[in-house]
Amino acid sequence: MTTAPDNPNGAPPRPRAGRKEWLALAVLLLPVLLVSMDLTILYFALPAISEDLRPSGDQQLWLADIYGFVLAGVLITMGALGDRIGRRRLLLVGAVVFGLGSLAAAYAGNPETVIVARALQGLGGATLMPSTLALIRNIFHDQTQRRTAVAVWSTGMAVGAALGPVVSGALLNWFWWGSVFVINVPVMLLLLAVGPVLLPEFRTPSAARFDVLSAVVSLAAVLPVIYGFKKIAVDGVGLVPVVAVVVGLAFVPVFVRRQQTVTDPMIDVGLLRGRSIGPAVTANVLASFILVGYSLFSTQYLQSVLGMSALKAALWTLPGTVAVGMAVPLATVLVRTVKPAYIIATGFTIAGLALLMLTRAPAEDGLAVMIVGIIAVAVGVTPVLTLVTELVVGQAPPERAGSASALLQTGQEFGGALGIAALGALGAAVYRNSPALDAPAGVPPEALEPARETIGGALSAAGTLPEPASGHLVDAAREAFTSEVHGASWAGAAVMAVAAVFSLYALRSVGSDRERASAADTQPEAARKAAPEAA
């Protein structure tokens, strides 16, 4: 064994995983794929839902956001709950909740029902994600095998998110919009059938009763922050979202203080002071910042600037999923002999260089630049997510694996929301102030007003104008949005530079597998030699 927590000071090695354990990993991939798919599966379904159910503008926003909002808000609570009642039990309960939410959404007759059903799906998803990662910690004791399992888990997340729009578009070509929810049900039924057979149960033996007050305070800390960032991303900086973020952040020290004083906290905040877990969570936030935040620009560029359909744009992003599928295993092999800090910093550097390349994306014929750029960003950042996930899961005590996994995933949701808000606000400012929109030939002032807000508004306004004014406005909007992409790319590259330097410094003390194995082997020998001297 090479992992100190599982093999301290020469203790007998823990058993390596066999066929049943790898089958269990395949079972755990089922909810991972679905939960990540459901984050993006509404990309195509929303227009069909809107046409059928006629939601208001606010209802449409909640249709898009409520799933991720609830998912992020209750991750910490569900991770701690799984540590207490059993991770397999929570996983199976979550499968029931997720399946019922999917059925309710599929056959909803009004927008309110879809919103409630999506919230129920988010609640179920929040039970599934930390449970899957925590069970990996309990199933795979060997560090090399566990890292492989985490790599498969991370790749499943990336594949699910990439497949969401593609699956949605394909289903809507043949079936009604509810089909994008119905497909979840048979998968959840399969999980309920094979989960009790293949998945082990694990709970913290000495856990005290669940601290309801800690759960309430965690919700008060997380939900307003996520809401504020999402609101800023949609409407820009305003009083309500800023107050929401401030209120949420004000509850963070209250939550930390509560965890330091209760007998059995939801999260052991002392873990964050360790040499790897705190920096790994921070690196996770920074990676999610760019991976999620920049996707807003790449998808709009492909559709609004290059004129692709949503399905075609989604298909063009699939090569990135294949590249990620090759990069993640490579990183897990390299870490056997190379320090994680070097690999993580290299990944951030690759992403930063790709973003610098994207500052040169043209307003016309920029497909090759954009596709190569976003693939390179994904190839650089996704292995980072895999390695920091293994660092957190591997270093956390087995009895705290659920809450540690939830903390990691909450950071991921926080980073993604922050990336969308920060890069979105910056990009919107660049777009609104672009000289290209100053005075397109033949465009009346009343058409310029919505055109200055978003490229979507510009394309809609152009549809009401005769030629050649319509063409002039479209060209101006595409040029302005390309400038927006450039601004976001510069900002993203700067964040990646900071992330690379931070990772090199903060994770410098974490050795490669070989170094940690060597250190573990020398500890018992040093203790044996020191014993006679002490006597």
Q: Buried (b) or exposed (e) across 272-282, using 16+ Cβ within 10 A? A: beeebbebbbb
User: Is residue 471's pLDDT more than 80?
Assistant: yes
Is domain 274-519 classified as CATH 1.20.1250.20?
Answer: yes
What's residue 519's pLDDT? 61
Query: In angstroms, rounded to a whole number, what is the distance separating the alpha carbons of residues 395 and 6?
Result: 10
What mean pLDDT is reported for the chain? Answer: 81
User: Is residue 296's pLDDT more than 80?
Assistant: no
Query: In angstroms, rounded to a whole number, what is the distance separating the alpha carbons of residues 497 and 491?
Result: 10
- Dig out the tokens for 356 from the structure: 């610098």
Query: In angstroms, rounded to a whole number, what is the distance separating the alpha carbons of residues 441 and 443?
Result: 6
| Banded pLDDT at 322 (limits 50, 70, 90) | confident
Q: Token pair 């992020």 is at which residue? A: 72
What's residue 6's pLDDT? 47
CA torsion 522-526-527-530 (nearest 10°) is 180
- Dig out the tokens for 424 from the structure: 């979105």
Task: Give the H or E element holding residue 462.
Answer: helix 455-462
What are the pLDDT digits (tens) for 91-132?
999 999 999 999 999 999 898 999 999 999 989 988 888 888
Mind spelling out the 3-state secondary structure of 46-77? HHHHHHHHCCCHHHHHHHHHHHHHHHHHHHHH
What are the pLDDT digits (tens) for 329-374?
888 788 778 888 899 999 999 999 999 999 998 988 888 999 999 8
User: Is residue 83's pLDDT more than 80?
Assistant: no
CA nearest neighbour of 413 among 267, 225, 242: 225
The dihedral sign for the CA sequence 21, 22, 27, 29: positive
What's residue 523's pLDDT? 53
Lowest mean pLDDT among 88-97, 223-232, 500-509: 223-232
Angle, helices 184-198/87-106, rounded to nearest 10 degrees: 170
Q: Could you tell me what percent of the chain has a pLDDT over 70?
A: 88
- pTM score, whole prediction: 0.80
DSSP state of 400: G
CATH of 19-208, one of 3.30.1330.40, 1.20.1250.20, 1.10.10.60, 1.10.10.10: 1.20.1250.20
Domain boundaries, the chain: 19-208, 212-261, 274-519
DSSP state of 336: T
| Banded pLDDT at 534 (limits 50, 70, 90) | very low
What's residue 531's pLDDT? 46
What's residue 4's pLDDT? 39
Instruction: Break the chain down into helix, strand, coil percent, rounded to 5.
Output: 80, 0, 20
What are the pLDDT digits (tens) for 12-69?
556 776 778 888 889 898 888 888 887 777 767 777 787 788 887 677 767 877 887 7
Query: In angstroms, rounded to a whole number, what is the distance separating the alpha carbons of residues 216 and 508?
Result: 36
DSSP state of 4: G
DSSP state of 306: S
Q: Could you tell me what percent of the chain has a pLDDT over 90?
A: 17
| Banded pLDDT at 2 (limits 50, 70, 90) | very low
Higher pLDDT, 463 or 516: 463
How many CB atoms sit inside 10 A of residue 176's CB?
14
User: Is residue 241's pLDDT more than 50?
Assistant: yes
The reply to whether 274-519 shares the fold of 19-208 is yes
CA nearest neighbour of 400 among 140, 138, 218, 179: 138
User: Is residue 160's pLDDT more than 70?
Assistant: yes
User: Is residue 292's pLDDT more than 50?
Assistant: yes
CA nearest neighbour of 388 among 294, 501, 507, 523: 507
Higher pLDDT, 491 or 307: 491
Query: In angstroms, rounded to a whole number, what is the distance separating the alpha carbons of residues 3 and 141?
Result: 8
